[in-house]
Amino acid sequence: MLREICPVYKREMKAYFSSPAIYVALGLFLAFVGLQYHYIIKYFVMVSQQKMMSQEGMYGGMPPINLTEIVVGSMFGLINFLMLLVVPIFTMRLFSEEKRLGTFELLVTCPLRDWSILLGKYLAALTVGLITLAFCLVYPITTQYISGGQAENSVILVSYLGLVLVVAAYVAFGVFASSVTENQMLSAILTFVGLLSFYLVGRMDYGKGAMLFGKVEWADIFSALCAYTHSEPFSKGMLALPDVAFFLMFTVFFLIITAKILEARRWRV
């Protein structure tokens, strides 16, 4: 199966890096993250100065300042949210462009299994997402440098692991959205709206008393399906099995659904 995946993967990677849209999206993403990092550092310096003045008696007592929580946690939370905007750009062309150009039928008639095609495209998009995360390593490295190593390495490591799981899940949903339409822009919109829904669904106020089968509240159900609820602990250095399992199951579920869509279209071809 690996022999079948590799040609599809190489083909997609070549298409990615020959497209100016990827470079523009990556450049804008990094520029915005860099700008926000500047403001986060300024905020941390301001709070630190206030803390020092508080200790000298000019202000009331302030709680201890946590560099990791303020800078590292805020940065990873920001990157997590921005991936909702970037991933649709990475995934919108995967199947939509094939259908628009009429090459999808040619692709599925090749001696390649559906899973080989799917995984080749998925891994290519995931690679681009991981490259994006790799560029973001400059921020925790810079934080460690300017703070003299005060940031907690364990929190940084867990946060990055969490981002990898998040991107893997987001890309899987983007591949699914790309498989259901021939329009790249519509694919990007579907991906963004779908991911944003999963991101926000557990953060709404559904009130009390809305019960499911008389035992479980709807709010609990939505919270269990919320990407934000399961990704937030990563930025605090907490690695819990339910959170890891959520993103792994999310990824596998949408890959399976996409495989079924490809299988159904193959029969029509």
- Please state, as a whole number, how many other Cβ atoms lie within 10 Å of the Cβ of residue 39: 10
3-state secondary structure at position 212: strand
Tokens of 214: 């008389």
Half-sphere exposure of 38 (CA within 13 A, CB side): 6
Q: Does residue 16 have a pLDDT over 80?
A: yes
> Whole-prediction pTM value?
0.86
3-state SS track over 214-255:
CCEEHHHHHHHCCHHHHHHHHHHCCCCHHHHHHHHHHHHHHH
Share of the chain above pLDDT 70, in %: 78
DSSP one-letter code for 68: I
Q: Do residues 2 and 123 make contact, with C-beta atoms less than 8 angstroms apart?
A: no
Each residue's pLDDT tens digit, 123-173: 999 999 999 999 988 888 888 887 776 777 888 889 899 999 999 999 999
Question: What is the rounded CA–CA span in Å between residue 215 and residue 249?
Answer: 25
149 or 176, which is more confident: 176
Mean pLDDT of the chain: 81
Q: Do residues 152 and 237 make contact, with C-beta atoms less than 8 angstroms apart?
A: yes
Residue type, 77: G
